[in-house]
Copies of this chain bind each other. A is one copy, B any other.
C-alpha cells in the first residue's frame, strides 16, 4: 500500500478532473472533493470523458478508461478526501481570499507531511501561503489544461517552501508521467506564460504596426516555427541550428536578434483598433456561436498530436 500514493484533488472543474485522471493513470489512488456537491456529482461525466478520450487515442499504455476511473473516488467530505493523502492538488477559483482560506483549511486538516499544491496560474504562491503554519510544504504546481493530456507542469516555490517539498512534488509528478519544470523562485507568469506573453507581445505589435494580418502571424507559428518547438524546445532548436551548437548559433545570429530586440521594447496596446482587427479576423473565420465546436475539434486534434509526439519521442 505504501507504494500506491494517494492524491487528494480539491475542486472538480476541468482542471481538477484532468488532475484526477492524470494521477489515477499514473497509478495513484485519487480522492476528488468539491464543496459544491452538485459539481462533484457532475465530475463523474467529465472524468469519464477525459479517460475515454485517452483510451480511444491509445494513450493509456494498456490500461482501460475503467481502470483509471476505478481509482478515483468522489469524496463526500474533505476529511475523507485528505485522509492518507501524500499530495493535495487545489483547483478552486482564482480569487486570493478563496485560496487563502482553502490553504489554511488544508494545512489544518491534511496529513502533516502531505504536499499542498495549487493549480493557480495567476497568483504567486507567496500571496496565499505566508501566514499558514505549514507554509514550507505549500507550493504551486501549475498545469497546462488539461493535465491529463499536456505533461508540462510548473513547480513553483514561495520563499519559504522547503527543498524537500519541491523534491517530493517534482518526483511525484515525474513518477505519474508529467514533465515537471522546477523553478528556482516565484515570478509573475511562471515560465510558460512568460514565454507565451513575450511571443504574444510581438504578435500584437506586428498587428498594431500594420506589418502583417493576424491570420498570417498564425500561419508563421503554426506552419513555420511551432512544429520544431513541439519536438525540441527553443534552446535545443537553436543548438541544432548551427554546426557548433548553441554557442556557434549565438555568435552567428545574436547580433540579428539584438537588433530586433531593440524594436521590441514598447508594450503594444492590446485593445482598441489592434484588438478590433484581431477580433474581426477571428470572427470572420469562426463565428462566436461556433466557438465551443471549435474547442472540441481542437481538443480532439490535440489528443492525436500528443499521441503522435509520444510515439515519436526520441529514445534517449
A residues contacting B by CB (< 8 A) are 122, 144, 150-152, 154, 179, 181-185, 187-189, 191-203, 206, 209-236, 238-240, 243-247, 250, 254, 256-265, 267, 270-271, 275, 278-279, 281-283, 285-286, 288, 291, 294-295, 297-298, 301-302, 304-306, 308-309, 312, 314, 316
Please, could you name 24 A-B residue pairs with CB atoms under 8 Å apart, sorted by A?
A150-B227, A152-B220, A179-B219, A181-B216, A182-B216, A184-B212, A192-B221, A193-B257, A194-B264, A195-B199, A198-B202, A200-B238, A215-B235, A218-B236, A220-B233, A221-B229, A222-B232, A227-B230, A228-B298, A235-B282, A244-B291, A250-B275, A261-B267, A301-B312
Q: Could you say which residues of chain B place their CB within 8 Å of the CB of A243?
A: 291
Contact between A221 and B195, CB atoms less than 8 A apart: yes
Chain B min CB distance to A170 (Å): 10
Q: Could you say which residues of chain B place their CB within 8 Å of the CB of A182?
A: 212-213, 216
A217 interface neighbour in B179, B206, B235, Cβ under 8 Å:
B235
Contact between B223 and A152, CB atoms less than 8 A apart: yes
15 further contact pairs, Cβ within 8 A, besides A188-B263, A197-B202, A254-B271: A144-B225, A150-B227, A182-B216, A183-B212, A188-B256, A195-B202, A200-B234, A201-B261, A218-B234, A219-B233, A221-B233, A225-B229, A231-B298, A240-B295, A245-B286
Q: Could you say which residues of chain B place their CB within 8 Å of the CB of A279?
A: 245-247
Chain B min CB distance to A183 (Å): 5
Chain B min CB distance to A174 (Å): 11
Instruction: Give complex CA distance A65, B179 in Å.
Output: 39
Q: Could you say which residues of chain B place their CB within 8 Å of the CB of A154?
A: 220
In the complex with contacts A235-B282, A239-B286, A260-B188, A226-B226 CB distance below 8 A: yes
Instruction: Give complex CA distance A270, B255 in Å.
Output: 10
Describe A's contact surface by its main secondary structure.
helix
Instruction: Give complex CA distance A231, B238 in Å.
Output: 22
Query: Which of A182, A224, A258, A260: most chain B Cβ within 10 A?
Result: A224
In the complex with contacts A250-B270, A250-B275, A279-B246, A214-B188 CB distance below 8 A: no
Contact between B282 and A245, CB atoms less than 8 A apart: yes
In the complex with contacts A230-B222, A233-B222, A301-B312, A195-B185 CB distance below 8 A: no
Contact between A191 and B220, CB atoms less than 8 A apart: yes
Contact between B245 and A220, CB atoms less than 8 A apart: no
Shortest Cβ distance from A286 into B: residue: B239
Contact between B211 and A187, CB atoms less than 8 A apart: yes
Contact between A288 and B191, CB atoms less than 8 A apart: no
